[in-house]
Amino acid sequence: MTIRVGILGATGYTAFELARILLRHNDVEITALTTRQDDRPHVSSVHPQLTGRLDLPLENLSQDQLAERCDCIFGCLPHAASAAVVPGLLERGLKVVDLSADYRLRDVAVYEQWYGEKHPDPARLPESIYGLPELFRDPIRGADLVANPGCYPTSASLALAPLLKAGMIQPTDIVVDAKSGVSGAGRTPKLGTLFPECNESFAAYGVGTHRHTPEIEQNLAQASGQTCSVIFTPHLVPMDRGILSTCYAKPTAAVTTAEAIDALRQFYVDEPFVQVVDGLPATKHVSGTNYCHLTARVVGERIIVLSVIDNLIKGASGAAVQNFNLMYDFAETTALAN
Amino acid sequence: MTIRVGILGATGYTAFELARILLRHNDVEITALTTRQDDRPHVSSVHPQLTGRLDLPLENLSQDQLAERCDCIFGCLPHAASAAVVPGLLERGLKVVDLSADYRLRDVAVYEQWYGEKHPDPARLPESIYGLPELFRDPIRGADLVANPGCYPTSASLALAPLLKAGMIQPTDIVVDAKSGVSGAGRTPKLGTLFPECNESFAAYGVGTHRHTPEIEQNLAQASGQTCSVIFTPHLVPMDRGILSTCYAKPTAAVTTAEAIDALRQFYVDEPFVQVVDGLPATKHVSGTNYCHLTARVVGERIIVLSVIDNLIKGASGAAVQNFNLMYDFAETTALAN
Amino acid sequence: MTIRVGILGATGYTAFELARILLRHNDVEITALTTRQDDRPHVSSVHPQLTGRLDLPLENLSQDQLAERCDCIFGCLPHAASAAVVPGLLERGLKVVDLSADYRLRDVAVYEQWYGEKHPDPARLPESIYGLPELFRDPIRGADLVANPGCYPTSASLALAPLLKAGMIQPTDIVVDAKSGVSGAGRTPKLGTLFPECNESFAAYGVGTHRHTPEIEQNLAQASGQTCSVIFTPHLVPMDRGILSTCYAKPTAAVTTAEAIDALRQFYVDEPFVQVVDGLPATKHVSGTNYCHLTARVVGERIIVLSVIDNLIKGASGAAVQNFNLMYDFAETTALAN
Amino acid sequence: MTIRVGILGATGYTAFELARILLRHNDVEITALTTRQDDRPHVSSVHPQLTGRLDLPLENLSQDQLAERCDCIFGCLPHAASAAVVPGLLERGLKVVDLSADYRLRDVAVYEQWYGEKHPDPARLPESIYGLPELFRDPIRGADLVANPGCYPTSASLALAPLLKAGMIQPTDIVVDAKSGVSGAGRTPKLGTLFPECNESFAAYGVGTHRHTPEIEQNLAQASGQTCSVIFTPHLVPMDRGILSTCYAKPTAAVTTAEAIDALRQFYVDEPFVQVVDGLPATKHVSGTNYCHLTARVVGERIIVLSVIDNLIKGASGAAVQNFNLMYDFAETTALAN
């Protein structure tokens, strides 16, 4: 069975990574790449890496055209733009993996507070399926619409959920000090992500206001059955890709580093993409892969959990293919071993 | 009056920055550069940046030779090596700015616990003078020996001391999540600081064990008159220089972001090298300068103070010249405006 | 005597470097910064590095306003925009250092061929004064308008002119393979200079079509009295600043590496900012300075001359201040020792 | 059929890339990793990227032990060390892909002149098989020992050989100005490849003396049947990986850019890993892949050919697996599509 897939918003970094991964997937054919431009550039002029590997133009396609050509859509559109087209795609019988933020938050009010706009498709939110398989795998199988997680929430949730679920840490006063490569800011030219602005520099951004905050809190609450509050501080690292989250949580009782690591290891023992390590993880250790490396240290009154992922892969396009594999009952690691 | 200065351990990055800054100082002549090697390389072969600007060899000099040639010594030796020679230099009437860690901690037991060795000159510790002028200026004036602060302690202490002193934050459960450029690890070739290991990667190191922890706690305690406890997590950023510290503290009472920024601004109103800013500071904003930029944000139950410095300048060699200027009663900013 | 200076087009990288350098100049006061925007942003919001160091807004100023406030103007405008305002400034009695390309080429036809537009002020071109002091110092002294050289032409001309002038190399079949940091591409957001596009990548651009080609040829011709032809290939290096030019020329007669280096050394023996070195120069050796480091190697049938400069300093703003110093009869190195 | 493979000298970057690629090869099992250390570190402590993906220690193994465990050996040893063990491996019936320089040059005298030592196995040189399939595919099929090409020679030879073979360029006065990421310098800690030395810097090295020069000349001579002379200038780029070669050659007759590109395209029309492109190639376009991108431009009296590869993949480990596939009659692209 070959699944015909389309990628909406195919000019950016996550779309490129999706194409690259899907080209390795024996049961997938990429049949559509969309852009809102009208000049139909060949994909190799937008992503020269794909020269000779994928022979398609980027096109401004209608939903009917997409429905004719594709079985499944990967949405790489900005938030709000995504929820404006997803309902039509689902109505036409397509499956959708949505990489935007539109179907991640179940509470419309929270969405509208943090994203500052009306949600175009609010009715679908309460039952939306959040595609973080290591925490919430079952509903993804066979789903028609999966909300692909944000990069920071993946990194922080994989670090903290096991300890919260095990009752080892308190659900409040959690600090997530996170650091990301610049590709996380997208491919639209902006002063702040110009090379000479980012290179040889390090800074925080969105302190106290980043939209991934409620997504992290929702994941931790759902995984642990408790209301959770998180202080989330993202920073920009002068590198292309990778996220490291340094998570500070308060133990509920005395605990050692070995016990904390052990709790993580037990939780993830059967997961193909999460490796609990003894040493300190570096983003380079997972760069270009769908892996997450995790460890823990007890220091003073805090458990520190450190996690690394590749923001474009486990934090976006690799996770999307992992979800796709579950939705279509392929082996979960297909096209993701690297 | 021209002060003749020597630099001990002149092969590294802080020594180069010292030489570069001192060449701008009209009242200084660099008269000695030392190395433990015996082949007397010209400084321009060790630091090609100084070609045509400084005409001296690096030499293996005795204390008597140094005393003949110099009035003041900047020590860029490793810890323990430094305290092995400082007493002899002081006895010979030289003044010393010591950039090593040897005279920073006043409690010998704390030194020996964190540095894992006997201190070569323990008697001098209790009265040692710590060269962070913004917090402890007076004793530096006219001192014979000044312990130049560590890079991380400078960054964290300037961020937290004013709020502690003002009673705005609690002295415990402080988290300092700090990020440094690679030059902080020194110029000795090591696998961990090889370009292809650091570039395109981000990682924590020394979690819970970094030797700057007690130095930060000592500074905060001295500034605030309270025992302080800090969880300190350093990270390595793929850039040459710069430190950003993201400091999380608990307010003692309800406080706004504006009030926190205001408290910082009042504290530093007369300081030439500390700028309290409204926006989020980036290490690039202070790169190559002796400045520290600071701001604060109140998020949830925490005050977050963010500070940036250039680790090699305000975090090392610039601070050393600032101390030198105080010791010799030059204008404090001499050679440091940039 | 204090010279009141204004900087036109003050939002970019060269304008920042100019401000930074001029703040060190005891005989200069910066009195105007211009932008074509109307919201008068404070310079510290555009260049946070200048917080607390320069207290001026960026303003949309008329030529009359500039003439009231300033004695000398540094123009950091794009080409064509610059020549549209320079005549009015000169008429009002101001001196101008123009960092754009508008007054560099003496032949209007060559300008219009390479820049693809009509020149707004063609009459002034034939007598324009090109500000590369090491090759053409005399006319700069006392000039009212100086065309500040391009970054690549500075690097290539300093490398090749001495050997051409000495008759050691042939004036044709010269290859200049040049490599520049990304700041050379300016501060306007563009896809090609976005961090994730440039970082971890290396590419040529403008092969055979770069506008600095005729400028290099003009300099070499003027210095040597011969028509010169150069193949110029610029490349983009994932770093902020620095240019290295690897120049391949044919010797006119058998020559050794030592003789080639010696010819360079004799030529530049009295120059404060050019250092002929024996080792291979790296851009880092001159980063942040107004220096040029040069060396030569004879390999096979070619003399290879390698030169490095900081593109923003010796290749732009440092050179501009060097020219300013000559125009006003200040010591040529004022504010440029670093 | 599963081929059991061992990797000699498994601590470096090329060995990691080999392991990563071979883990994707369905007909390969990695059965031995060697090091000259005796403490048998687990591969995941040397290459944390392989945590959970490869469960082997690095061992100090004898040739007999290797012969027991393996069918084929990939040698990642330094030159001279490699030729000291290869004969014993071949005698024990193993096949060998040697990534060192030891079996690349067919003329012992040339080897000894450029490498400065006696060759340990000179008799095998004249008939050695050089593994650059795009130029010399046939002898690789079924070979027992293949000399894997150097990274620079791959890049330059693929760029120049087609035009030489077509008689479009002259075989002398060729300039190859090449630029490489730092991983090319290996994983042994050295001052020159320390992060703060390379980052934000660009420099040439080995001008006129780099050992890849005779290898390029040998390839071009063999491909074209003419004696060739090349001036080869390597440079170090502050990035992990990638090589761009800018090759300047003299046309034998008038030629256009379109004709030059066309000649390249015809030559490589059936090659799976060489893409002739119209735009200017960037190393990022082939990063992490076994592809080479090539283009040409005619400028003045020169044809400029620009080629990019990933130095660790097409320039080392990818090419090694491509050779392995040919040696064992697997599809040439097995495990190399990415």
Which of A33-42, C242-251, C262-271 is the least confident region? A33-42
- Residue C338 forms contact with B (CB below 8 Å): yes
Between chains, do D235 and C242 touch, taking CB under 8 Å as contact? no
- Residue B284 forms contact with D (CB below 8 Å): no
CATH of region A152-311: 3.30.360.10
Tell me the sheet residues that pair with D149: none
Segment D177-188, tens digit of pLDDT: 999 999 999 999
Out of A13, A191, A241, closest to residue C189 by CB: A191
SS3 sequence, chain B? CCEEEEEECCCCHHHHHHHHHHCCCCCEEEEEEECCCCCCCEHHHHCHHHCCCCCCECECCCHHHHHHHCCEEEECCCCCHHHHHHHHHHHCCCEEEECCCCCCCCCHHHHHHHHCCCCCCHHHHHHCEECCHHHHCHHHCCCCEEECCCHHHHHHHHHHHHHHHCCCECCCCEEEEEEECHHHHCCCCCHHHEHHHHCCCCEECCCCCCCHHHHHHHHHHHHHCCCCCEEEEEEECCCCCCEEEEEEECECCCCCHHHHHHHHHHHCCCCCCEEECCCCCEHHHHCCCCCEEEEEEEECCEEEEEEEECCCHHHHHHHHHHHHHHHCCCCCCCCCCC
Segment B98-118, tens digit of pLDDT: 999 999 999 999 999 999 999
Per the CB < 8 A criterion, the answer to whether A187 and C191 are in contact is yes
Active site residue A151: yes
CA nearest neighbour of A99 among A289, A309, A292, A318: A318
Chain A nearest-CA distance from B193, in A, is: 13
Burial, B157: exposed, middle or buried (Cβ in 10 Å; 0-12, 13-18, 19+)?
buried
- Residue C233 forms contact with D (CB below 8 Å): yes
Work out the widest C-alpha separation in chain A, in whole angstroms.
63
Give backbone dihedrals phi and psi of B214, rounded to 5 degrees, phi first: -65, -25
Q: What's the half-sphere exposure (Cβ side, CA atoms, 13 Å) at D232?
A: 23
Mean pLDDT of C115-133: 95
Question: What pLDDT is stored for residue A1 in this prediction?
Answer: 80
Per the CB < 8 A criterion, the answer to whether D288 and A21 are in contact is no
Share of chain C above pLDDT 90, in %: 97
Give backbone dihedrals phi and psi of B240, rounded to 5 degrees, phi first: -70, -50
- Residue A288 forms contact with C (CB below 8 Å): no
Between chains, do A279 and D48 touch, taking CB under 8 Å as contact? yes
Best probe of the A interface among B229, B235, B280, B298, by most A CBs < 10 A, is: B235
- Residue C337 — pLDDT band, cuts 50, 70, 90? confident
Chain B nearest-CA distance from C122, in A, is: 39
- Residue A38 — pLDDT band, cuts 50, 70, 90? confident
Please name the residues in contact with C62: beta carbons below 8 A apart, sequence gap of 6 or more: none
- Residue B24 — pLDDT band, cuts 50, 70, 90? very high
Question: What pLDDT is stored for residue D33 in this prediction?
Answer: 98
DSSP state for residue C246 in the 8-state scheme: E
Of these residues, A72, A76, A151, A198, which one is catalytic?
A151
Please name the residues in contact with A192: beta carbons below 8 A apart, sequence gap of 6 or more: A185, A198, A205
Chains touching C (at least 3 CB pairs under 8 A) are A, B, D
Chain C nearest-CA distance from D205, in A, is: 7
Mean pLDDT of A260-269: 98
Segment C85-98, tens digit of pLDDT: 999 999 999 999 99
Between chains, do A201 and B241 touch, taking CB under 8 Å as contact? no
| Crossing angle (nearest 10°) for helices A151-165 and A257-267 | 110
Chain centroid to Cα A230, Å, comes to: 18
Mean pLDDT of chain B: 97
List the single residue in C with minimal CA-CA distance to D279.
C205
List the single residue in C with minimal CA-CA distance to D240.
C200
Of these residues, B151, B228, B247, B292, which one is catalytic?
B151
Between chains, do D198 and B200 touch, taking CB under 8 Å as contact? no
Mean pLDDT of chain C: 97
Between chains, do B196 and D238 touch, taking CB under 8 Å as contact? no
B chain contacts of residue D183, beta-carbon cutoff 8 Å:
196
Burial, C299: exposed, middle or buried (Cβ in 10 Å; 0-12, 13-18, 19+)?
middle
List the single residue in D with minimal CA-CA distance to A21.
D338
Q: What kind of fold does domain D151-311 have according to CATH?
A: Dihydrodipicolinate Reductase; domain 2 (3.30.360)
Q: Give the integer Cα–Cα distance in Å for B253 and B246.
A: 21
Cα dihedral sign, D95-D97-D100-D104: positive
List the single residue in D with minimal CA-CA distance to B241.
D196
Q: Give the integer Cα–Cα distance in Å for A161 and D302.
A: 62
Is it true that domain D3-127 has CATH number 3.40.50.720? yes
Q: Is the per-residue pLDDT at C74 higher than 90?
A: yes
Q: Is the per-residue pLDDT at C101 higher than 80?
A: yes
* Structure token digits, residue D199: 């980052």
- Asked, colleague to colleague, whether A3-127 and A152-311 share their fold, the answer is no
Between chains, do C231 and D300 touch, taking CB under 8 Å as contact? yes
DSSP reduced 3-state for D46: helix
Mean pLDDT of chain A: 97
Out of A199, A207, A280, closest to residue B203 by CB: A280
Q: Is the per-residue pLDDT at A281 higher than 80?
A: yes
Between chains, do A24 and D337 touch, taking CB under 8 Å as contact? yes
Please name the residues in contact with D266: beta carbons below 8 A apart, sequence gap of 6 or more: none
Per the CB < 8 A criterion, the answer to whether B122 and B104 are in contact is no
- Residue D300 forms contact with B (CB below 8 Å): no
Q: Give the integer Cα–Cα distance in Å for D336 and D291.
A: 9
C-alpha distance from residue C118 to each of B168, C111, C114, C150 (Å): 64, 8, 11, 20
Per the CB < 8 A criterion, the answer to whether B12 and B322 are in contact is no
Q: Is the per-residue pLDDT at A338 higher than 80?
A: no
Give backbone dihedrals phi and psi of D97, rounded to 5 degrees, phi first: -105, 115
Segment D118-143, tens digit of pLDDT: 999 999 998 899 999 999 999 999 89
Between chains, do D282 and C203 touch, taking CB under 8 Å as contact? yes
Between chains, do B200 and D238 touch, taking CB under 8 Å as contact? no
Per the CB < 8 A criterion, the answer to whether D37 and D58 are in contact is yes
Out of A49, A291, A337, closest to residue D285 by CB: A49
D chain contacts of residue A291, beta-carbon cutoff 8 Å:
52
Per the CB < 8 A criterion, the answer to whether B60 and B36 are in contact is yes
Per the CB < 8 A criterion, the answer to whether C320 and C99 are in contact is yes
Mean pLDDT of chain D: 97
Question: What pLDDT is stored for residue A37 in this prediction?
Answer: 84
Per the CB < 8 A criterion, the answer to whether B125 and B107 are in contact is yes
Between chains, do B13 and D196 touch, taking CB under 8 Å as contact? yes
Of these residues, C76, C151, C247, C292, which one is catalytic?
C151
Question: What pLDDT is stored for residue B250 in this prediction?
Answer: 97
Segment B212-254, tens digit of pLDDT: 999 999 999 999 999 999 999 999 999 999 999 999 999 999 9
Chain centroid to Cα A274, Å, comes to: 15
Mean pLDDT of D52-60: 97
C-alpha distance from residue B84 to each of A149, B107, C168 (Å): 56, 18, 56
C chain contacts of residue D311, beta-carbon cutoff 8 Å:
none
Q: Is the per-residue pLDDT at C127 higher than 90?
A: no
- Residue A333 forms contact with D (CB below 8 Å): no
Per the CB < 8 A criterion, the answer to whether B16 and B23 are in contact is no
Between chains, do A182 and C190 touch, taking CB under 8 Å as contact? no
Mean pLDDT of A174-193: 97
DSSP state for residue D59 in the 8-state scheme: B
User: How many residue pairs bridge chain A and chain C with CB atoms within 8 Å of each other?
Assistant: 59
C-alpha distance from residue A147 to each of A103, B184, B326 (Å): 5, 42, 60
Burial, A77: exposed, middle or buried (Cβ in 10 Å; 0-12, 13-18, 19+)?
buried
- Residue D285 forms contact with A (CB below 8 Å): yes
Token match 């005549």: residue? C87
Question: What pLDDT is stored for residue B197 in this prediction?
Answer: 98
- Residue B1 — pLDDT band, cuts 50, 70, 90? confident
List the single residue in B with minimal CA-CA distance to C22.
B338
Question: What pLDDT is stored for residue C296 in this prediction?
Answer: 98
Pairing of strands D230-236, D203-204: antiparallel
DSSP state for residue D156 in the 8-state scheme: H
Mean pLDDT of B187-206: 98
Question: What pLDDT is stored for residue B38 in this prediction?
Answer: 83
Alpha helices by DSSP H, chain C: 13-22, 43-46, 63-69, 81-91, 108-115, 133-136, 151-165, 195-198, 212-224, 257-267, 318-327
Q: Domain locations in chain C?
A: 3-127, 151-311
* Structure token digits, residue D130: 């050089």
Mean pLDDT of A90-94: 98
Work out the widest C-alpha separation in chain D, in whole angstroms.
63
Is the ipTM reported for this complex over the cut 0.95?
yes
Question: What pLDDT is stored for residue B148 in this prediction?
Answer: 98
Mean pLDDT of B266-280: 98
Share of chain B above pLDDT 70, in %: 100
* Structure token digits, residue D117: 């030592």
Chain centroid to Cα A86, Å, comes to: 18
Mean pLDDT of B127-133: 95
Q: Is the per-residue pLDDT at B152 higher than 80?
A: yes
